[in-house]
């Protein structure tokens, strides 16, 4: 199934863990009906195991592992934990039914995600990028850039270093690289 998460990265990240919860309903001993997740890596020490060295990709891998391998010793849902411990067949059937019912969707994701601070996070896919999850890095870009035909003309004019006769400006010498963008005719 496709499980959707709400990941809120606070101002103190990486010194404090992000807030992560499931948006998709999940039948699981360590995930409650509000989507809260009982995972040590999401809590600060001494009760938790969050470390600034953990990155988001590693955290998501741990959540994925928790989905596959519930921890009945640290339950968030006692009734689900009871079924998990005493009737694994019923637990698996119910979890599978919930997955079929609630974890629908497709793998088509937007190319970028926009947060409330006007930052854009380009989509990261370790399979496409050929990197392992523990080497994930995300770069931020501002989204309040000018768009439209007027800004394109203004930008090309501001980078034009030719004088009115079309000759290059005198301060560029032959041994300096030409840093100008090519003009489109």
Phi/psi at 96 (5° precision) = -65, -40
Q: Which residues form the catalytic set?
A: 38
Other Cβ atoms within 10 Å of 22 Cβ, number: 22
- The token duo for 130 is 């050929």
Other Cβ atoms within 10 Å of 68 Cβ, number: 6
Contact 127, 47 (CB under 8 A): no
CA 163 – CA 165 distance, rounded (Å): 5
């Amino acid at each position: 199934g496709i499980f959707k998460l709400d990941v809120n990265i606070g101002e103190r990240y990486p010194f404090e863990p992000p807030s992560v919860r499931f948006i998709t309903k999940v039948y699981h001993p360590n995930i409650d009906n509000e989507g809260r997740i009982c995972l040590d890596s999401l809590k600060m020490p001494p009760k938790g195991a969050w470390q600034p060295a953990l990155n988001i990709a590693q955290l998501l891998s741990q959540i994925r592992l928790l989905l596959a391998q519930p921890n009945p010793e640290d339950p968030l849902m006692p009734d689900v934990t009871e079924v998990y411990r005493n009737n694994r067949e019923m637990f698996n059937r119910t979890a599978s039914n919930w997955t079929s019912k609630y974890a629908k969707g497709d793998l088509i994701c937007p190319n970028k995600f926009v947060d409330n601070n006007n930052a854009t996070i380009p989509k990261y896919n370790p399979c496409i990028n050929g990197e392992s999850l523990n080497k994930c890095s995300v770069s931020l870009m501002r989204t309040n850039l000018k768009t439209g035909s007027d800004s394109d003309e203004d930008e090309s004019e501001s980078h034009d270093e030719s004088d009115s006769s079309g000759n290059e400006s005198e301060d560029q010498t032959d041994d300096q690289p030409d840093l100008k963008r090519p003009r489109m005719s």
